[in-house]
Chain A
Amino acid sequence: MQSTLIKPALATYTALFLLFLYAPFVVLAILSFQTGPEGGPQFPIIEWSTYWYRHLLGLVPPSRIAPLPIDESLLRSLGLAFMTMVVSTVLGVASAQAFRTRFAGSGIVFYLIVLGMMVPGVLVGLGMSLVANALGIDRHWWSTAFVLHVVYTFPFAFLVMLAIFNRFDESVEEASWSLGVPPGRTFRKVTFPLIFPGVLSAMLFAFTLSYDEFSRTLFASGRDLTLPLAIYGTFSVEIHPNVFAFGVLTTLFSFALLAVYAALMTLSIRRAKRVALQEEAA
């Protein structure tokens, strides 16, 4: 193909594409350093300041702009994400383990699980609140919203674990069984350490998806706000650069999470390598 011309053209296009992906966020980050409280969410920057970051943390004298309700909602979001992470990872590992043997109805079960990540939050959220209404249950972030978060993140954990088990060498388990180690102990001592990197990825997926999730929460969480709901609340009113500052902070938080994940991953891979080396030496 006339790649002499087409390749540079496509490369330029890809660069523009990345600009399209990143530009809004860069603009948002710049505007978060607008002066306050009189500076608005637009150019030009009147004066560079960290006012809106301090505003977010409650370090500035009260002004007409109400602070974002982040302290309590942050705790709720983290709690919810943690609960969701634990439950959906356990469910994901268990179901993926079950899929290692063919069983009747596995096709239907597969689609049933994957459906959870496909059905939009508006629909399950609405359905769940209808069920809660009919049963006379109060909606809370730790009950109705929590079960929906798991419905959403469990399929991701399941698919990650399925991919891990696909590349899994079964002979090590068989060796363990044939030495008389019971299945439960084999799983703890042999299988689990081997699939641990996958479990970490599943946990990361579940945590971040739940931490960000809002359409399911909007319908199913009742009165108490989670972090995304607090941001959604600003949509209808005039926005101020404090929301931008908050956006920068959550993004930094996500990257910190990613860094922790990367560190844990490197550690577990290094440990696996060391074990392999010891085995070779022995």
Chain B
Amino acid sequence: MTMTALSDGLAEARIEQPKPQRTTLWLVLPGVLWMTLFLVLPMLMMVYVSFWTQTTFAITPVLTTKSWVNFFSSDTYLTALWTTIRIWLTVLAATLLVGYPTALFVGLFVRNKTLQTVLLVLCVIPFWTSFLIRVLAWRPMLGKEGAINLVLQGLHLTSAPIEALLFSELSVVIGMTQIYCVFMVGPIAFMLGRIDPNVLEAARDLGAGFGRIFRTIILPLSMPGVVVGAIFVSVMVLGEFATSAALSGRKVNLLGNIIVTQVGSLKWAFAAVVGVVLTVIMGVVVAALLRVVDLRKEL
């Protein structure tokens, strides 16, 4: 004890950790600079360029709202906007419906920690395959001569192959649901795992059925997980373009696809307008979701 007191006293004199503020500044500065230059600046540039004048192959920094007027008066863009919102909502609902029961099982019913980890790892393993390969993998599944149609016909559930499975909005929704539902399962399972089993026990002892326990205890307590999952899924689905490019046969055009095409034909100002619209939608969605649950209080 006296030794520590002594060394403490010595340390007071010699401790080489002075000016902590300055060290902190130097440690955090590179990261902040990097993010400002390569994240904030590009985003601001996008807003700025959306007001530039677009000529056939170039943009000039003469401010105009022409691209914006163009966006909101064009059927193509408004359809894309509507498709994006529709697909986003569908996928959001689908990932929640598909993912929740799994999260319920993993987070609440499996009380063995090892089994829980194994199940979660099984959910994450597909992420070790390239995203694009996972998207492409749906083509031989959904096609006219694809695995699903073969199985359905083999079981005599359908007499002719279902053609609507591939190169339609449905295929895009199926693909996105599979790719993103794990982002829903993870946070929900995490929140469910933190529910005190005694609370459920008490409710059961007082005669509540599973339905009632689910509505009044499990669902409300899992809401922060649902919100975090919804934020992940929303941001990713809204910024999507590869899944629809691969699985819709160019029939489904999301705002992301519009950006890619516009950049391909050097229509930078239009692309920037679409980018700003997308950013605004995401901002509104995330802000709205954060209002549902105060995450800082819950986590």
Contact = CB atoms under 8 A, between A and B. Distances in A.
Interface stretch (B73-81, B121-129, B219-227): B121-129
A178 to B, nearest CB: 3
A36 to B, nearest CB: 15
Interface in B118-160: 119, 122-123, 126, 128-134, 136-141, 143, 145-147, 150
A168 interface: no
A95 interface: yes
Given A25-B137, A118-B235, A94 B30 contact: yes
Contacts of B30: 91, 94-95
A250 B32 contact: no
A250 B130 contact: yes
A237 to B, nearest CB: 11
B23 A42 contact: no
Given A1-B200, A42-B145, A178-B10, A24 B275 contact: no
A228 B130 contact: yes
Contacts of B17: 177, 183
Nearest to B21: A103
A127 B130 contact: no
Contacts of A179: 7
Interface in A116-154: 116, 118-124, 126-131, 133-134, 147-148, 150-151, 154
B42 A178 contact: no
B105 A14 contact: yes
Interface string A230-270: 01101110010001101100110011001000000000000
Contacts of B8: 178
A150 to B, nearest CB: 7
B298 to A, nearest CB: 17
Interface in A5-61: 6-7, 10-11, 13-14, 17-18, 20-25, 27-28, 31, 41-43
A75 interface: no
Given A28-B133, A103-B21, A129 B263 contact: yes
B136 A231 contact: yes
Given A2-B209, A254-B129, A183 B23 contact: yes
A6 B209 CA distance: 12
A246 B136 CA distance: 11
B165 interface: no
Contact of B134 (A25, A98, A112, A208): A25
B230 to A, nearest CB: 13
A172 interface: no
Nearest to A180: B14
Contacts of B213: 1
Given A43-B145, A133-B268, A112 B11 contact: no
A97 B272 contact: no
A2 B146 CA distance: 40
A236 to B, nearest CB: 7
B132 A232 contact: yes
B111 to A, nearest CB: 11
A200 B260 CA distance: 35
Contact of A150 (B15, B34, B104, B138): B34
A219 B83 CA distance: 23
A178 B39 contact: no
A95 B28 contact: yes
A124 B259 CA distance: 12
B35 interface: yes
B129 A250 contact: yes
A22 B38 contact: no
Among B44, B109, B204, B238, the one with the most A-chain Cβ atoms within 10 Å of its Cβ is B109
A214 interface: yes
9 contacts: A3-B109, A10-B101, A18-B123, A21-B178, A42-B146, A98-B24, A113-B32, A115-B39, A178-B8
Interface of A: 1-3, 6-7, 10-11, 13-14, 17-18, 20-25, 27-28, 31, 41-43, 91-92, 94-95, 97-99, 101, 103, 109, 112-113, 115-116, 118-124, 126-131, 133-134, 147-148, 150-151, 154, 158, 174, 177-183, 208, 212, 214-215, 218-219, 227-228, 231-232, 234-236, 239, 243-244, 246-247, 250-251, 254-255, 258
Interface of B: 7-8, 10-11, 14-17, 20-21, 23-25, 27-28, 30-32, 34-46, 49, 59, 98-99, 101-102, 104-106, 109, 119, 122-123, 126, 128-134, 136-141, 143, 145-147, 150, 178, 182, 200, 204, 209-210, 213, 235-236, 238-242, 245-246, 256, 259-260, 263, 268, 271-272, 275, 278-279, 282
